[in-house]
Structure 1
Amino acid sequence: MSAPVDIAHSKLRSLYHFWESRRPAPDLLPGRQHFQAEDIWPWIGYIGMVDVERGDGPDTPLRFRIRLQGENLARLTGNRQAGRYLDETLNTKYRELILDQHIQAARTGQPAYRIQRDDSKPWKRIDRLVLPFASDGHTVDLLMTGLYMAVTPSRPFSENIP
């Protein structure tokens, strides 16, 4: 299977290839049982994991309980949120975009990649990849998010500035 889109960020591209390598069969999603904690070491500070809660009926909205938040991810989001629901922690103007990306991955079983830019902060870019996992190979019950932020200063840094 090829990447869902052209993943621009090299570390997220390698995270995608890791996920792809853990599939037990081409038509099955990998589950949490298909990797050890040390396998995700190259991305550990930049990933989060959320449990997918489906509720009782088909019309019940999906909810995402934060299981793990890497140190750098926690810094980017403002604080540690493990144990809380994602929809309770997002207080940004990107709340719906972030939730929609998680819903898309949970419902389709396909990775969801997005580059997010803020017109008011053109120097800031966030690359986010959401990867679906399924214990039974079919029903997504866990999402892993890789998130990297890049900052492009308006002028180069110089040690000679007084």
Structure 2
Amino acid sequence: MKAETGSTVLTPEMIENPSLIPVESPVIRDALTYWRDRRPGPGLLPGRQHIDPTEIPRLLQSIWLLDVVRDDPDYPKMRFRCRIFGGHFLDSWGPRMQGKLLDTVSNFTGSDGEADLIAVCETGMPRHYNGAPSVDPFTMVASVEALMLPLARDGRTIDMMMNFSQCRHSDSAEPSLFNH
């Protein structure tokens, strides 16, 4: 199925039946299914404690975890601290961003990517994105497909974001990430 361009808020129906989402990458579809199946109960979000990396080894190359920072009096919006990057990101982004705030990347503040992450945190609804990259390091690829999934230790207050990205280089129709 060909994914549409842009950001899509996932409805409860899409979460329960991922085949309703125009996802191109099996990694993205599998990540959503894994997240969905880790919810601790009806109406609750999974927390980091529900995620076991040994259960998703195939997905780990594409993962990037962000801590949600809500209590910075000097910053009017919520912020995102880079916690973990999968193997595909280590050479391009991981070393310079690990432990740092995402808004220190010059083109993140005010970007569609920032707006999507904030919206997921405000609504608790995952988002799927497919289209042109707008945030470094994704600007070096032709297109990106991403999934933004909220995590909440208490099931309600989002304190982390579990994201997965698959990128396509202009010379390839196959998903890849920074493997030049």
The number of equivalent residue pairs is 150
What is the CA-CA distance between 1:40 and the residue it aligns to?
2.9
Which has the larger share of strand? 1
SS of the counterpart of 2:77? coil
SS of the counterpart of 2:30? helix
* Matches of 2:119 and 2:161, distance apart in 1: 11
Instruction: Report if aligned partners of 1:124, 1:149 keep a CA contact under 8 Å in 2.
Output: yes
Q: What percentage of residue pairs aligned between the two structures are identical?
A: 29
Cα distance 1:70–1:80, how it changes in 2: closer, same or farther (>3 A)? farther
* Matches of 1:29 and 1:17, distance apart in 2: 13
Structure 2: gaps of 5 or more residues: 1-11, 16-20, 134-138, 173-180
**Aligned residue in 1 for 2:48:** 32
The alignment status of 1:54 with 2:70, answered yes or no, reads yes
**Aligned residue in 1 for 2:4:** none
What is the CA-CA distance between 1:29 and the residue it aligns to?
0.2
**Aligned residue in 2 for 1:19:** 35
SS of the counterpart of 2:13? coil
Residue deviations 1:8-30 (CA, integer Å, cap 9, x gap): 32210110000000001120000
What is the CA-CA distance between 1:147 and the residue it aligns to?
0.7
What is the CA-CA distance between 1:152 and the residue it aligns to?
4.3
* Matches of 1:111 and 1:11, distance apart in 2: 15
What TM-score, normalized by structure 2, do the two folds share? 0.72
Q: What's the Cα RMSD here? A: 2.7
Structure 1: gaps of 5 or more residues: 155-162
* Matches of 2:109 and 2:143, distance apart in 1: 13
Task: Point out 4+ residue stretches in structure 1 off by more than 3 angstroms.
Answer: 74-80, 91-95
**Aligned residue in 2 for 1:136:** 154
Of the three residues 56, 60, 80, the one matched with 1:44 is 60
What TM-score, normalized by structure 1, do the two folds share? 0.80
Mark the structure with the bigger radius of gyration: 1
Residue deviations 1:15-57 (CA, integer Å, cap 9, x gap): 0000000001120000011122212311111111010011167
What is the CA-CA distance between 1:2 and the residue it aligns to?
3.2
SS of the counterpart of 1:17? helix
Residue deviations 1:87-129 (CA, integer Å, cap 9, x gap): 11x33489611111111111111111111226xx9x8111111
**Aligned residue in 2 for 1:74:** 90
What is the CA-CA distance between 1:131 and the residue it aligns to?
0.4
Instruction: Report if aligned partners of 1:73, 1:147 keep a CA contact under 8 Å in 2.
Output: no
